Amino acid sequence: MKTLYIILAACGLMFAQNLNSVGLGYAGNYTVMSRGLDALDYNPANLAMFRRYANEINLVNTGLALGNSVFNLNSYNRFFTREGHGGTLSVAERVDLLTLFGNDGLGFDFKVQSRLFAFAAGHWGGSVSLTGQGKGAIVPGKPLEMLLFGSTVGEDFGFSEQDVLAAEAYSAIKSGLSYAYRIKLNREKTGFSYLAIGATFNYFAGLGYARTTQSEISVQRSAENADQFVSAASFAVQKADILSGKLAGSGFGMDLGITA
């Protein structure tokens, strides 16, 4: 039984998960426990397992998830609270903070999903959702180094940083239809009373997609007035959206699940 549960948890990472409080409370490891409407996203096989309500309908719910590659609760307390650094960052702590970003910078990701309609009726289920997802990285480079350690501002002071931001994001309407089938087993021989298999067929209609292709920030001391500094930021973005008169891509997908 333990081996089966480990396999299911690994498969669950591939599903387009709904952002609800229970699933987030399980840190996304809701593949075995999900039932009813939650099974549509975490494991469609669970539609065939016993649950409190045979028929369920959900009209609107929204969830948002944010993540980053640099800061957790411990690093936040260390670098940004008086209890962590005593009121002033030491040189060693500044070096550690700069090292924390590394060459890859601050990675971030987000996911937002609004389920517009969903139902679970017996072994069948379906949903229509508006979903968006994105990821990227901010590489602060010279500005962060100057903020932490300062810089000598001479007459020819200036700098230029390339590729400070790399990001991409998409949004789509996701429509899915699920079905599960339950098989009765001999518990004395197999150790399980039932085995359920299920599948969700998804269609994605792309609303928009965008990604950065170039980014740059610069600061330069004015040659005419030494008290003035000229700053500039430029970003080049490649995008596609339905405002052009057609979908920003489309495609089909399928989720498979098994549970016992």
Cα distance between the two ends of the chain: 9
> CA–CA separation, 41 vs 113, rounded Å?
12
Count Cβ atoms within 10 A of the Cβ of residue 219 and give its class: 0-12 exposed, 13-18 middle, 19 or more buried: middle
pLDDT surpasses 60 at 14: no
Rank 29-33, 82-86, 144-148, 213-217 by mean pLDDT and report only the highest: 213-217
Q: Which residues contact 180 (CB under 8 A, 6 or more apart)?
A: 39, 44, 45, 46, 47, 48, 49, 123, 196, 197, 198, 199, 257
Tell me the pLDDT band of 68, cut-offs 50, 70 and 90.
Answer: very high
Count Cβ atoms within 10 A of the Cβ of residue 18 and give its class: 0-12 exposed, 13-18 middle, 19 or more buried: buried
What pLDDT score does 157 carry?
87
> CA–CA separation, 205 vs 176, rounded Å?
12
Rank 136-150, 197-211, 229-243 by mean pLDDT and report only the highest: 197-211
Give per-residue pLDDT as tens, 207-234.
999 999 999 999 998 888 888 989 999 9
Residue type, 33: M
Q: What does the chain come to in residues?
A: 260
Q: Which residues contact 131 (CB under 8 A, 6 or more apart)?
A: 16, 111, 112, 113, 114, 171, 172, 173, 174
What pLDDT score does 12 carry?
33
Collapsing DSSP states into helix, strand and coil, what is residue 10? helix
Tell me the pLDDT band of 16, cut-offs 50, 70 and 90.
Answer: very low
pLDDT surpasses 70 at 24: no
Query: CA 2: distance to chain centroid?
Result: 28
Question: Any idea what DSSP says for residue 124?
Answer: E
Average pLDDT over residues 103-124: 93
What percent of the chain shows pLDDT beyond 90?
A: 47
* Measured CA angle at 171 (ends 166, 172), to 5 deg: 150
Give per-residue pLDDT as tens, 33-45.
888 888 888 899 9
What pLDDT score does 180 carry?
96
Average pLDDT over residues 237-255: 88
Average pLDDT over residues 1-6: 34
Collapsing DSSP states into helix, strand and coil, what is residue 199? strand
pLDDT surpasses 70 at 139: yes
Rank 14-23, 27-36, 59-68, 112-121 by mean pLDDT and report only the highest: 112-121
Q: What sections of the chain are H helices per DSSP?
A: 2-12, 21-25, 39-42, 73-80, 82-85, 91-101, 142-149, 187-190
What pLDDT score does 25 carry?
61
Tell me the pLDDT band of 176, cut-offs 50, 70 and 90.
Answer: very high
Q: What is the pLDDT of the chain when averaged over all its residues?
A: 85
Tell me the pLDDT band of 20, cut-offs 50, 70 and 90.
Answer: low
Average pLDDT over residues 177-197: 92
What pLDDT score does 22 carry?
65
Distances (CA, A) of 145 to 72, 96, 221, 235, 243: 21, 12, 18, 22, 41
Instruction: Identify the weakest region by mean pLDDT among 31-35, 90-94, 146-150.
Output: 31-35
Token pair 């996911």 in the structure block, residue = 111
